[in-house]
Structure formats: C-alpha cells, structure tokens
Amino acid sequence: MEKTKRESEHRAKVEALNSKQQKKRAKASKRKARRTRYKLEGGKTENADILGSDEESELGGSEHSVDEGENKT
C-alpha cells in the first residue's frame, strides 16, 4: 500500500517537472521565433515592439548607433 502511494507521488513529481520543462521549451521557442522574424524583417524599428525590453535594447540600440555612424561620414 505504501509502495503504491510513494510511486504515485513520484509519478506526480515527474509529471510536474516535465510540465515545467515543456512550458520553458515553448517559451524559448516563441522567443526564438520572434527574434528570427525580427531579423528577417531587417530589424525595422517599428517592429521592435515584437521583442521584449531586453532584446529591444540589445538589438535595436546597437543598430541605431551603427546608423548614426553612417550618417556622419
């Protein structure tokens, strides 16, 4: 009786961990798709709202500084 209870508790833990991992993978996949779409569209600034705040400042900020450098020459 106790053995089956332990097994069912263990199974529940494993299922919970698998569920968490699946959610993490789905989130990462969506993030990767947004980044890819952004890059394919040429990094247009009007599409920057697709990205999260971290990615926007990282990608958008670096491209903006490159554009400013080109305008000075």
Tell me the whole-structure pTM to 2 decimals: 0.47
| Tokens read off for 14 | 């494993």
Say if CB 51 and CB 35 are below 8 A apart: yes
Burial of residue 48 (number of CB atoms within 10 Å: 0-12, 13-18, 19+): middle
**In the chain, domain spans:** 2-72
Express as a percent the part of the chain with pLDDT over 70.
59
pLDDT digit string, tens, across residues 9-39:
999 999 999 999 999 999 999 999 999 999 8
